[in-house]
Chains A and B, each alone.
Chain A
Amino acid sequence: MLTLDRNLLHRFGLLLVILLVGLFLSLSDDIFMSVANLTNVARQVSINGILAVGVTFVLLTGGVDLSLGSVVALSGVACATFAHPGDHSVFVPIAVGLLTGAACGLVNGTLVTLGGVAPFIVTLGMMTIARGLALIFSGGRPVADMSNELTALAGDLFGIPIPMLCFAGVAAAAWFFLSNFRLGRHIYAVGGNENAARAAGVPVEQVKLFAYGLCGLLAGLAGVVLAARITTGQPNAGQAYELDAIAAVVIGGTSLAGGVGTITGTLLGVLLIGVINNGLDLQGVSSYYQAVIKGVIIVGAVWLDRRQARS
């Protein structure tokens, strides 16, 4: 009961911060609460949200994935390459993008489990490899000329942005998975105490492989969505996306040591970062200052949270 209360407190605390920031923004700027702007916020957080959900799985196992941004770019390029009008059905470029991401994730997972290399190093390597591959396949130029069917993915369905729907679907599925699947329980066990999990008969290697693979797959999805939104496969896209994603997850209460964390926490973390980004834009804060303010808020939020957890 104790931890449940703490989780609730934590979530309410975070929710309160988000509401306060929102209130401040809506008072100081009447554009903020407009439907157009809120839709815009939803659209903006979607990609970070999809990445954050994926990397939640990896962080829960006690690992980390620094390659997300590069994998987004590589998947976007791969998707765009197959998305020229009239070439294939729209499902082909989508599948190619997803599989590219999943493949990167599985390579990460294999090196971490079978290779025994630290996740930080493996995914740091993948970060530059995937970026390099994206540049190689695209010849260093944006891959343009994408079919309308694919770019329509960035549009609306019944007035709701499709990226937002993707994010919501992914988050709901991830939440259900972690709380109801045996594999979900195993992810918590591996992150909580890997050796004890192995001794209890948990297939630790398979569990980790799954987490990295899923994280890669979702980075692939983010790549496809991004390509659709900017109507090109940009080899230089997604720089430092992993940092916003990891920041959102950690703000949401997931432990970097693994074993503790929830998808709802991650959602709130994503929302907070999204609202801050949007708010700073609306206030006309220069991007130089934005970076500083965002960094302070990230560290401050986690510091407050840990202080609360200790008391």
Chain B
Amino acid sequence: MLRALELRKDFGGLTVLHPTSIDFHPGEVHALMGENGAGKSTLMKILAGLYQPDGGQVEWRERQAEFTSPHDALVAGIAMIHQELMPIPDLTVAENITLGSEPCSAFGLIDRPAQLARAKELLGELESDIGPTRLMRTLTVAQTQVVEIAKALGRQADVILMDEPTAALSDHEVASLFRAIARLKARGVAIVYTTHKMDEVFRLADRISVLRDGRLVGTAPASELNPAKLITMMVGRELADVFPVRLPSSNEVLLEVTGLTREPAYRDISFQVRRGEVVALAGLMGAGRTEVVSAIYGLQPASSGKICLNGSPLSIGNPQDALTAGIGMVTEDRKGLGLIPALGVGQNITLSALRDFCRGPLVDHTAEAAASQTQMTEFAVKANSTSQPIAQLSGGNQQKALLARCLLGAPDLIILDEPTRGIDIGAKAEIYALIQKLARAGKGILLASSELPEVLSLAHRIVVLRRGSVSATLDAASTDQETVLRHAMPL
């Protein structure tokens, strides 16, 4: 039905997609797999009319198609769910879902009741109870993602391109999405799907294409592949167990949080992080993970409660206070709270610790360049130079650059909020190894994550949140996914 024929794309003299041909069939889920920068998103964006190919062509229903804009593709029947969420924050959920396809009455006025009903119906298909009259800006990242999916479903498209739709979703929401995908399949819709989660691919995909470094490695029915084979195809080498061995932590308490409260998000949160220890905050979407770590970092301070670092109480009103005290954080919201897109990779890395590379008020450019170069090498950030704008890097490299920024200031406590969200398995393994290295160096790590395998393998202890309260503190070595989930689920 939809066919990529020798598609090629260059960016600034660099070929990011070498001539690639793939067929997509109705009623089939076709997974595109590959590390970050392998060319999956580029391929999808060409199919969706967002990018123009520099070679080859798109064939749509046996005819050559020229999609010069996403609108052309939509009209033809191809919708895309983007990896980077693009909500309009000050419109309601219903207005976002029906954006560009608003139900209209006579005279072109928007038919509000029909709009609300349509939004409700689409959210219902995803088994979500988000109120359609809420403003987008009041939603969490996960809820925003659900709305974006509903929006694409509403296009009545024959092909839906999904670029990491589950990156921000909890297991529960993922299950709902999968049931919706099954219904679409039954209706003969073609789904093109990318993800970094192995288990999803084999639950979902009928056919899998693997890309590596902008080249198609191969296409095969999912039944002929297994995770080990797939990983080998993706990275081009055998990947040993991605999770390194956990080392025992010390007994020295680094961070002590007591009675942290900000209604209605969370209340009476208490836990400790010792030196050399990885403590995970687990919980479903909306349980308050991000809110709690944001309070410790001063992004949105708690209304009451105590935070002690190294035994001395801190009053943290903003991230500057946290950084001064020795607390660093890598945010889950890379685009909104992490990157300064127009600045170079190097300048992004040195932003938090710039004072260390200054003589008085003046930046010592030599020292700064040396430091950012060192960080880029140490964290394996792939970029043309330190001055390449960070917006041009792949998600995994951006994430590594933000980690490099956080660690350049040598914080004692490192808060990582979804550190491996939307990045490939190679970069994931690097970040896991780094977390262990930091723990070994006597740092404390507070890890907020929705990926249970990650939580169970990396953390020493797991603090489970349920609707803004601590429901359990578990020893990671003697617990399993079911136990964590049982404590995380609302009663």
Binding site for B on A (CB under 8 A): 1-4, 180-186, 188-189, 192-193, 195-203, 259-260
Q: Give Cα A195–Cα B341 distance, bound, in whole angstroms.
A: 12
A182 with B342: in contact, given A4-B387, A199-B299, A201-B320 (CB under 8 Å)? no
> Contact between A192 and B363 (Cβ–Cβ < 8 Å)?
no
* Contact of B12 (CB < 8 Å), options: A2, A199, A201: A2
> Contact between A1 and B339 (Cβ–Cβ < 8 Å)?
no
> Contact between A201 and B319 (Cβ–Cβ < 8 Å)?
yes
Residues of B within 8 A of A4 (CB): 387
Find the B residue at minimum CB distance from A255. Answer: B342
Find the A residue at minimum CB distance from B320. Answer: A201
Q: Write the nearest CB–CB distance from A189 to chain B, whole angstroms.
A: 5
Please encode chain B, from 326 to 349, with 1 for each CB lying within 8 Å of some chain A CB and 0 for all others: 000101000011111111000100
Q: Write the nearest CB–CB distance from B355 to chain A, whole angstroms.
A: 7
Residues of B within 8 A of A1 (CB): 384-385, 387-388
Residues of B within 8 A of A192 (CB): 340-343
Q: Give Cα A37–Cα B339 distance, bound, in whole angstroms.
A: 48
Q: Write the nearest CB–CB distance from A105 to chain B, whole angstroms.
A: 20
Residues of A within 8 A of B12 (CB): 2
- What would 7 A/B residue contacts be, using CB atoms closer than 8 Å? A1-B384, A1-B388, A3-B387, A4-B387, A181-B361, A199-B329, A199-B338
> Quick one: which of B27-48 are within 8 Å of A by CB?
none
Interface size on B, residues (CB 8 A): 35
Residues of A within 8 A of B340 (CB): 188-189, 192-193, 196-197, 200, 259
Interface of B is mostly: mixed
A182 with B319: in contact, given A192-B343, A199-B331, A260-B342 (CB under 8 Å)? no
Find the A residue at minimum CB distance from B361. Answer: A181
> Contact between B363 and A180 (Cβ–Cβ < 8 Å)?
yes
User: Which of A193, A203, A260 has the most CB atoms of chain B within a 10 A radius of its CB?
Assistant: A193
* Contact of B352 (CB < 8 Å), options: A195, A201, A203: A201
Interface of A is mostly: helix
> Contact between A195 and B336 (Cβ–Cβ < 8 Å)?
yes
In the complex, B354 has a CB within 8 A of chain A: yes
Q: Give Cα A183–Cα B360 distance, bound, in whole angstroms.
A: 11
In the complex, B247 has a CB within 8 A of chain A: no
Residues of B within 8 A of A189 (CB): 340, 343, 347, 351
Residues of A within 8 A of B393 (CB): none
A181 with B363: in contact, given A192-B342, A193-B341 (CB under 8 Å)? yes
Find the B residue at minimum CB distance from A5. Answer: B12
Q: Give Cα A286–Cα B362 distance, bound, in whole angstroms.
A: 49
Q: Write the nearest CB–CB distance from B253 to chain A, whole angstroms.
A: 25
Q: Give Cα A200–Cα B297 distance, bound, in whole angstroms.
A: 10
Given known contacts A198-B319, A200-B340, what 17 new A-B pairs fall within 8 Å (CB)? Answer: A1-B388, A2-B388, A3-B389, A181-B363, A182-B355, A182-B363, A185-B363, A188-B342, A188-B347, A189-B351, A193-B340, A195-B337, A197-B340, A197-B351, A199-B297, A199-B331, A202-B351
Residues of A within 8 A of B338 (CB): 196, 199
Q: Write the nearest CB–CB distance from B343 to chain A, whole angstroms.
A: 6
A196 with B336: in contact, given A181-B362, A185-B347 (CB under 8 Å)? yes
Residues of B within 8 A of A198 (CB): 299, 318-319
In the complex, B477 has a CB within 8 A of chain A: no
Residues of B within 8 A of A197 (CB): 340, 351
Find the B residue at minimum CB distance from A205. Answer: B318
Residues of B within 8 A of A260 (CB): 342
Q: Write the nearest CB–CB distance from A192 to chain B, whole angstroms.
A: 4
> Contact between A182 and B320 (Cβ–Cβ < 8 Å)?
no
Q: Write the nearest CB–CB distance from A188 to chain B, whole angstroms.
A: 6
Q: Give Cα A121–Cα B336 distance, bound, in whole angstroms.
A: 25
A182 with B358: in contact, given A2-B12, A200-B352 (CB under 8 Å)? yes
Residues of A within 8 A of B320 (CB): 201-203
In the complex, B405 has a CB within 8 A of chain A: yes
Q: Write the nearest CB–CB distance from B444 to chain A, whole angstroms.
A: 19
Find the A residue at minimum CB distance from B389. Answer: A3
Find the A residue at minimum CB distance from B350. Answer: A185
Q: Write the nearest CB–CB distance from B326 to chain A, whole angstroms.
A: 12
Q: Give Cα A200–Cα B299 distance, bound, in whole angstroms.
A: 10
* Contact of A196 (CB < 8 Å), options: B323, B337, B358, B384: B337
Q: Write the nearest CB–CB distance from A146 to chain B, whole angstroms.
A: 36
> Contact between B342 and A259 (Cβ–Cβ < 8 Å)?
yes
Find the B residue at minimum CB distance from A261. Answer: B342
Q: Give Cα A188–Cα B347 distance, bound, in whole angstroms.
A: 10
Please encode chain B, from 377 to 412, with 1 for each CB lying within 8 Å of some chain A CB and 0 for all others: 000000011011100100000000000010000000
Residues of B within 8 A of A200 (CB): 319, 340, 351-352, 405
Residues of A within 8 A of B355 (CB): 182
Please encode chain B, from 178 to 222, with 1 for each CB lying within 8 Å of some chain A CB and 0 for all others: 000000000000000000000000000000000000000000000
Residues of A within 8 A of B347 (CB): 185, 188-189
Q: Give Cα A193–Cα B322 distance, bound, in whole angstroms.
A: 20
Find the A residue at minimum CB distance from B354. Answer: A182
Residues of B within 8 A of A188 (CB): 340, 342-343, 347
* Contact of B339 (CB < 8 Å), options: A180, A183, A184, A193: A193
Q: Give Cα A185–Cα B358 distance, bound, in whole angstroms.
A: 12
Q: Write the nearest CB–CB distance from A213 to chain B, whole angstroms.
A: 16
Q: Write the nearest CB–CB distance from A57 to chain B, whole angstroms.
A: 15
Q: Give Cα A201–Cα B351 distance, bound, in whole angstroms.
A: 8
Residues of B within 8 A of A201 (CB): 319-320, 322-323, 351-352
Q: Write the nearest CB–CB distance from A186 to chain B, whole angstroms.
A: 8
Q: Write the nearest CB–CB distance from A34 to chain B, whole angstroms.
A: 42
Residues of A within 8 A of B351 (CB): 185, 189, 197, 200-202
Q: Write the nearest CB–CB distance from A113 to chain B, whole angstroms.
A: 13
Closest 10 CB pairs of A and B: A192-B340, A201-B323, A199-B337, A200-B351, A200-B352, A201-B320, A259-B342, A192-B342, A193-B340, A201-B352
Find the A residue at minimum CB distance from B368. Answer: A185
Q: Give Cα A186–Cα B358 distance, bound, in whole angstroms.
A: 13
Residues of A within 8 A of B365 (CB): 180
Q: Give Cα A76–Cα B354 distance, bound, in whole angstroms.
A: 39
Residues of A within 8 A of B322 (CB): 201
> Contact between B343 and A199 (Cβ–Cβ < 8 Å)?
no
> Contact between B354 and A180 (Cβ–Cβ < 8 Å)?
no
Q: Write the nearest CB–CB distance from B205 to chain A, whole angstroms.
A: 35
Residues of B within 8 A of A180 (CB): 362-363, 365
